[in-house]
Each structure stands twice: as structure tokens, then as C-alpha cells.
Structure 1
């Protein structure tokens, strides 16, 4: 990487002479386990996860601190054939990230056959693999039997030429440490890029919005997740209090019918979303939270450049 993040405090002492630092990214189809694997490597939750595709919408950086290295993992949206302007912009995020990292992990789940989407990604990665090492990562081995994992490893070999292929499970920790070692081995020598103890460079307000969206995604119809966006309008300690943060957030959908789904009967579903999100936000911030949620309609926002800008895309 040519640029060191702003605000970097390089005050580390007693670093080994061969200390390394740099960037890796995980790519793959939507719902290939990239965010869960990022969280497992970092050791805490920095990226939201869901069974719904296209959960990740930003390139989120998770920071792995080791005595011998600092590995910054960029979790990217799932690469897919876009049907909307939002989809194209998410793909652009992925493609631009590839050119900025030191090593790439191509994630394919162990319990799903290699398909056209994987082949499309492999074709794109082949263009950068000559200058950037690409590892094949067979994810979710905890939900596949050994024969399925072996079959997937063979299938991966036919996709493209990898530096190495490794099966892992972020859920039970299988070979997560080994994957970390493989990625670190590809990093250039250098001091830490981020202060000790910093686990992500995402602003807290962005993480809070993502936690609300994660809670809203659970239990909704398959077509709805793409249409949900969350904006935190205000987040601050309540006046005169240092033990309570007020968070006011808007959930945006594209149609009035979707608003009804998110609200639920007499607002019951939105209450459950608020309760689940508040627990996660309190764990993140380490303080009690008052969470105020409202649902608004932004008609066809995924296809509207002006509204995409307003929603942060």
C-alpha cells in the first residue's frame, strides 16, 4: 500500500526487525462467508453478518494485531452481476480494492457448488493475480462433510491458479490462525499502520447504522434486504448524562408496501429490530443506549444517483 491511514500513531516500541504490515481483502459471491471470516481473524465483530445476500455494502477494514505483523483486512461487498446502480457501485468498490491490497483471499463456501458467479470472479482475479497473490479460501467447512470439502478443494483448482488453497471455518476456528499466517507472509516489511488496540477505522456512527441494518435484515423476505438502508441522523450523549447515548436513526425502503413489512403489525417488528440492535450497539459503545427508529420511503433509491449520495453510496 502506498498510503498510510490518516491519524496513524506510529509509537510502537520494541518491534522485531522483520515486522510486517499491509492489507488483505476477501472477495467472493454474496454470502460466501467473507464478513464472518473477517470478524474471526480480527477477534471481534467489525462487519455485520446475515444469511441475506449483499449484506456488506462498504469496504470495511478490520485490524489484526500480532507481535510480528499488523494485518489490515478489507471486507468487500459480494461481487455479482449488477441489476441496479447500487449494485454497480458495490462492484466498483470491490474492483478498486483489489488494486490497493497486498494479498487477496477468494472465498467459496464448502457447502455450495462452484457456479457461474465464482467463475466470473476468477476471470476478473486472473487479471490481477500476476502482481497480487491470490489465495483460494474454502469457507464454512463446519457445515460440510469431509467429502464435500475435498470436492470443493478440487473444484477450486480448476477455477484459476492460486498461491495456495486452504479450507477454513470461521465458526469453529478451523485453520483461521493458519490463514492469518499465510496472509501475513505476503505483506511487506513495515511498522504498524494503526495504533495498538484499534480494531477498525470505521466511524462509530457507521457501525451503529450497520448494526441497525443487520437487525432489520433478520426474518424479512428475500427481495427486501436490497431495499433497506439506514442513516443515523443524530448520536450523542444525553444532555447532562455520561451514561446514556441517544441514537436517532432512519430506515429507508423503496416502496410503501416494504415499509409495512419492516414495521410489522402495529409496529411490533420494528420494536424487535430496535431491541436487537440496541443490545449490539450497547456492546459496541460500552454504554446504555436510547434508540429511536423511524421508517421512511425513498422511492427506488437503489437506481437514483441523488438518493444514493444522500444515503452514503
Structure 2
């Protein structure tokens, strides 16, 4: 399915002959709108963790897309929402700071959910970030019939006209099937200013290694848990030691807010935590290219989402 606004895919990322474009694009949207999955699809490798749970992303993750004539730095942000905790407020602040600094903002709206108050809340926030081009992406198009995608494209366009004077481009895409992902890249690149490369060729993210390890463990821990737990889970790499046998020993702390949540993460007889370690180890070994042993410990940090000192200690 083609994009709905003229010139979206055909604008061309390269600009004039010999011109090189570079800059930053921010993906925003409600929690669980498919931002991280799309970031990974555009980069061509996993740089952001994904989960069916809302608010999986808790900090900005940069993924780098390099072409001969352009370089796009994708900034995947936490989902904008009406915060109920200090952590939620800090995540929102992080998104607003990012919006003020990027060249393009891509507003992600999933095809399988009706536009609601949360989307209007975000569109209004975009109106307060005047320096960037505004693009709308209808995500998860593989989950609904084409007629539903078309209806969502029209609904998104109407929202843009009402609150932003219109989106520069509106593009449907599926990160899961890869449909239109190349068009999304072309569109975002076409709105970048001319400029030099910002990162060396071959670099896919500037995310610190220990943060990526902690995020992969958190992703594994989020699978199949109760609804209230994802918001209460934080993960920190406490120490790493290279053993004599060449295995990298990683000591990782998983923090929850209540003693009852500790039992959920550990599981009966430690079975669940062992499963988390097995799945996370595969991902971490793929990331680092070396054998890894994960030592996972679960601790209680009471109401850490609301405690400024604990938030700072946990990196927020």
C-alpha cells in the first residue's frame, strides 16, 4: 500500500546531486504503538527492546541508519502518557526534551486501535515543537485488513489537519513483515537537512553496552508476567568479570517494588528466573559475540518509581 500524501516516498533522501543529508528523527506515540519494533526494522538489527507490555522503553535509544548519501539517527522514546508516578513524569520530560532537538518527528499510530484521547494528547504536544517536520506512521498494518488501514490513514490525516495544520507525510508500514519500511526510511531521510555523517559507517547504536545488557534482561523478564509488574521492574548490571575460561560473568540486579512481586519474578522454585536467564543469555551473547554467564538477583526497592533518590540510583 502506498503512502497517502504526495511526494512522500518520491521526495528522495539525497536531495540535490552530491548532497549528503544527516540528522535526527524521533519516533513518538502512545505506549505499545510499535515504535521500538519499527526502530529495529529500520536499523536492520535489534537496538531497542520490545514487549507487548506498555512503557517497555524507558529512555531514548538511538539507532543509526547509514546510506551512501545520508545518515539518519532514529531516537526511540518512551511512550507519551498521562503520568501517575515520578518515573512517568520523568519519561514524559525525556520525550519533550527530545522533541525540541530533532529534525523530524514520526508520530506512530497503530492500525489496530482507534484514535483516542492519548493520540490527541500527543498531537497537541507535537504542535508545541515547531522546529521539526511532522510525519505520521500508521504501524502494525499486518494486523488488520487493508480497508481498516485506509480508514486509519484518513483518521490520522484528519487529526493532523485539525491540530497541526497537516502532516508532511502519512505512511502505513509493518515492521513485522517489512512492508513499507524502506518507504518510511526514505520519507524520514527526505526531511533531513544537508550535513556530514554523524557516526562512523557500520555503527548501529550509541547505546552503552551495560545499558543494552540490562535492557535485554528486562525484556526477557517482562514476558508472561502480570499486568502490574512491568512498571515496577528495573534492571541494573552491577558488575562484570571476565573469567579465566573466557566466559564473561555478569552480575545483574532486578529490582521490584514489593515483596510479592519478587516471588512473581523468581517463580516456583526459581523456575521463572532461570527461564529469564536462559532467554536473556542468548540475546546478550548475540549482542556481545562472546560466551556469557548471567547471575541474576532479585531485590526489593520499595516504591522506587516515586522516590527521587532511588530513581537516580537506578539511572532515571
Q: Same fold (TM over 0.5)?
A: yes
Secondary structure, counterpart of 1:201 in structure 2: coil
Whether 2:289 is the aligned partner of 1:293: answer: no
* TM-score, normalization by structure 1: 0.93
Q: Which residue of 2 is the match for residue 284 of structure 1?
A: 287
Q: Which residue of 2 is the match for residue 155 of structure 1?
A: 155
Cα displacement (A) at 1:97: 0.2
Aligned counterpart in structure 1 of residue 194 of structure 2, from 189, 198, 212: 189
Deviations 1:70-110 (A, max 9, x none): 10000000000000000000000100000110001000000
Secondary structure, counterpart of 1:89 in structure 2: helix
Q: Distance in 1 between matches of 2:282 and 2:71?
A: 30
Deviations 1:151-183 (A, max 9, x none): 101110121210011000001111111111111
Secondary structure, counterpart of 2:221 in structure 1: helix
Q: Which residue of 2 is the match for residue 199 of structure 1?
A: 204
Whether 2:315 is the aligned partner of 1:312: answer: yes
Secondary structure, counterpart of 2:280 in structure 1: helix
Secondary structure, counterpart of 2:225 in structure 1: coil
Deviations 1:40-84 (A, max 9, x none): 000000000000000000100000011111100000000000000
Q: Distance in 1 between matches of 2:312 and 2:91?
A: 13
Q: Which residue of 2 is the match for residue 214 of structure 1?
A: 219
Whether 2:126 is the aligned partner of 1:125: answer: yes
Root-mean-square deviation (CA, aligned residues, Å) is 0.9
Q: Distance in 1 between matches of 2:181 and 2:272?
A: 36
Q: Distance in 2 between matches of 1:131 and 1:80?
A: 22
Q: Which stretches of structure 1, 4 residues or longer, exceed 4 Å deviation after superposition?
A: none
Secondary structure, counterpart of 1:275 in structure 2: helix
Cα displacement (A) at 1:210: 0.1
Cα displacement (A) at 1:19: 1.0
Would the aligned equivalents of 1:69 and 1:192 in 2 still touch at CA under 8 Å?
yes
Q: Distance in 2 between matches of 1:18 and 1:215?
A: 43
Whether 2:54 is the aligned partner of 1:49: answer: no
Cα displacement (A) at 1:190: 1.5
Would the aligned equivalents of 2:239 and 2:250 in 1 still touch at CA under 8 Å?
yes
Would the aligned equivalents of 1:36 and 1:170 in 2 still touch at CA under 8 Å?
yes
Would the aligned equivalents of 1:22 and 1:102 in 2 still touch at CA under 8 Å?
yes
Cα displacement (A) at 1:17: 3.2
Q: Which residue of 2 is the match for residue 223 of structure 1?
A: 228
Q: Distance in 1 between matches of 2:271 and 2:217?
A: 16
* TM-score, normalization by structure 2: 0.92
Would the aligned equivalents of 2:64 and 2:203 in 1 still touch at CA under 8 Å?
yes
Secondary structure, counterpart of 1:281 in structure 2: helix
Would the aligned equivalents of 1:205 and 1:235 in 2 still touch at CA under 8 Å?
no
Q: Distance in 1 between matches of 2:98 and 2:241?
A: 32
For structure 1, which runs of at least 5 residues remain unmatched after alignment?
1-15
Q: Which residue of 2 is the match for residue 257 of structure 1?
A: 260
